């Protein structure tokens, strides 16, 4: 039967990004392709360590605290080192910003390229020891004309990013990427060591049936958020209530939202005045992907991608997902005092 014959018409990440680059014409020099290849290599290296974590004593705390005041896990530190080394060695980067490092890294002339990469090396740290899905999130800016690579090159609105994506380490490793021409998903074929295009042109359903919030924070949430949550849990008939799904790894919660639709939220609240998620390497990349997939990403009162950061570890309120669901939420922000 035909289903027993393996497909020989396989598109890999590299060939796909190359062919997209060709469509960009003169603007594409192949440098972005090489940078994305470096990021995909990094993710394979991290993925294999995630798989072996329990066996080679990689679970548990590293013993340090990062600039966010969070305890670092061994895998946070390892993933950060892998990213920094491989991005520097790629020769394509000028500025690197990592969740795990207080200051930006400026690449020395010998290795300097024209891209800046902001990243969360290991997202979902609290899930590591339980073997639940975790990920890596990244965003890419091109250094501004004439710039030698300064912090100003990354303190720019999210809509200036040229590429963004994440890798989710789950039952398989999935890389989801945008270069501003839609969103594509690739799955790591461990035997080939290649990311294969498995989810071309991801589109978020215009409305979903799932909400994804840490509702344990309800007592701190602002009134519009609680009013919105009430509206989807106690809808007036014939509408039926939404399902709750919350993994606590942004990568996994956003991945599900892109594929199934619905709304993901991590609002600012009375306790976390600026929210929890970090603008540069969590909110911006996920907002870019969401918009490119046809969804909306907002703070509740404004477009996330229009925020201009003033510091590299700045936080922001995040709601993203299906267009109609996020529009409903925005209505509550307009109407509920
Ligand atoms: P990180 O593990 O990179 O520090 O990020 C954790 C973030 C994000 O992954 C997730 O959406 C959120 O924190 C979960 O926070 P709560 O545990 O407060 O729900
Ligand atoms: Mn962290
Ligand atoms: Mn994170
Ligand atoms: Mn992290």
The per-residue pLDDT for range 134-191, each reduced to its tens digit, is 999 999 999 999 999 999 999 999 999 999 999 999 989 999 999 999 999 999 998 9
Residues of the chain with pLDDT under 70: 1-3, 21-29
Structure tokens at 50: 């995630």
Which pLDDT does position 50 carry in this prediction? 86
Alpha carbon distance 2, 200 (integer Å): 22
Phi, psi of 95 (to 5 degrees): -135, 135
If phi > 0 it is left, if psi is from -120 to 50 it is alpha, else beta; for residue 262 that is left
Print burial letters for 301-336: b (CB count within 10 Å at least 16), e (below 16). eeebbebebeebbbbbbbbbbbbebbeebbebbeee
Pick from 247, 225, 189: nearest CA to 329? 225
For a pocket test of ligand 1, which of 126, 130, 252, 315 has the largest count of ligand atoms closer than 8 A to its C-beta? 126
Alpha carbon distance 69, 118 (integer Å): 19
C-alpha count within 13 angstroms, C-beta hemisphere, residue 102: 5
For the packed helices 13-24 and 31-52, what is the interaxial angle rounded to 10 degrees? 160
Under a CB-based contact definition with an 8 Å cutoff, are residues 82 and 42 in contact? yes
Q: What is the CA radius of gyration of the chain?
A: 20
For residue 244, what is the enclosing H or E element?
A: strand 243-244
Structure tokens at 107: 């690449």
Alpha carbon distance 316, 41 (integer Å): 30
Which pLDDT does position 27 carry in this prediction? 55
DSSP 216: G
Alpha carbon distance 184, 164 (integer Å): 11
Which pLDDT does position 56 carry in this prediction? 77
What's the complex ipTM?
0.98
Alpha carbon distance 50, 58 (integer Å): 8
In ligand 1, which atom is closest to the CA atom of 99?
3
Ligand that comes closest to the CA of residue 281: 3
Which pLDDT does position 3 carry in this prediction? 65
Could you give the angle at the alpha carbon of 59 between the alpha carbons of 52 and 123, nearest 5°?
A: 90
Query: What is the whole-number distance in angstroms between the Cα of residue 177 and the centre of ligand 3?
Result: 17
pLDDT in tens, 255-270: 999 999 999 999 999 9
Ligand that comes closest to the CA of residue 71: 2
For a pocket test of ligand 1, which of 266, 278, 313 has the largest count of ligand atoms closer than 8 A to its C-beta? 266
Alpha carbon distance 179, 23 (integer Å): 12
Query: What is the whole-number distance in angstroms between the Cα of residue 254 and the centre of ligand 1?
Result: 12
Which pLDDT does position 26 carry in this prediction? 44
For a pocket test of ligand 1, which of 248, 275, 297 has the largest count of ligand atoms closer than 8 A to its C-beta? 248
* Residues 6+ away with beta carbon under 8 Å from 130: none
Structure tokens at 149: 């690579």
Query: What is the whole-number distance in angstroms between the Cα of residue 7 and the centre of ligand 3?
Result: 36
In ligand 1, which atom is closest to the CA atom of 120?
3
Phi, psi of 145 (to 5 degrees): -50, 135
Tell me how far apart the terminal alpha carbons of the chain are, to the nearest angstrom: 62
Is there an atom of ligand 1 within 6 Å of 19 CB? no
What pTM value is reported for the model? Answer: 0.96
Which pLDDT does position 52 carry in this prediction? 84
């Amino acid at each position: 039967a035909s289903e027993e014959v393996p497909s020989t018409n396989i598109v890999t990440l590299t060939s796909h990004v190359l062919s997209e680059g060709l469509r960009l014409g003169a603007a594409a020099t192949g440098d972005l392709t090489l940078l994305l290849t470096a990021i995909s290599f990094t993710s394979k290296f991290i993925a294999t360590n995630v798989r072996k974590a329990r066996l080679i004593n990689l679970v548990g705390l590293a013993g340090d605290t990062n600039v966010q005041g969070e305890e670092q896990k061994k895998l946070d530190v390892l993933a950060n080192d892998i990213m920094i080394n491989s991005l520097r060695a790629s020769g394509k980067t000028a500025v690197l910003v990592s969740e795990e490092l207080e200051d930006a890294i400026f690449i020395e002339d010998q290795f300097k390229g024209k891209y800046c990469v902001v990243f969360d090396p290991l997202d979902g740290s609290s899930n590591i020891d339980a073997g639940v899905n975790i990920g890596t999130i990244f965003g890419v800016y091109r250094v501004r004309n004439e710039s030698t690579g300064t912090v100003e090159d990354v303190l720019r609105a999210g809509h200036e990013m040229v590429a963004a994506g994440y890798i989710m380490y789950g039952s398989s490793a999935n890389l989801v990427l945008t270069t501003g021409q839609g969103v594509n998903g690739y799955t790591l074929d461990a035997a080939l060591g290649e990311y294969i295009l498995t989810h071309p042109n991801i589109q978020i359903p215009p409305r979903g049936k799932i909400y994804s919030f840490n509702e344990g924070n309800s007592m701190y949430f602002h009134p519009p958020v609680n009013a919105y949550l009430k509206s989807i849990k106690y809808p007036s008939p014939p509408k039926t209530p939404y399902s709750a799904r919350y993994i606590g790894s942004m990568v996994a919660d956003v991945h599900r939202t892109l594929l199934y639709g619905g709304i993901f939220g991590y609002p600012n609240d009375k306790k976390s005045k600026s929210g929890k998620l970090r603008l540069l390497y969590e909110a911006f990349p996920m907002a870019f992907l969401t918009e490119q997939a046809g969804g909306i990403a907002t703070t509740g009162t404004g477009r996330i991608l229009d925020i201009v950061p003033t510091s590299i570890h700045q936080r922001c309120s995040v709601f993203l997902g299906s267009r109609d669901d996020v529009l409903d939420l925005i209505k509550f922000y307009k109407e509920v005092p």
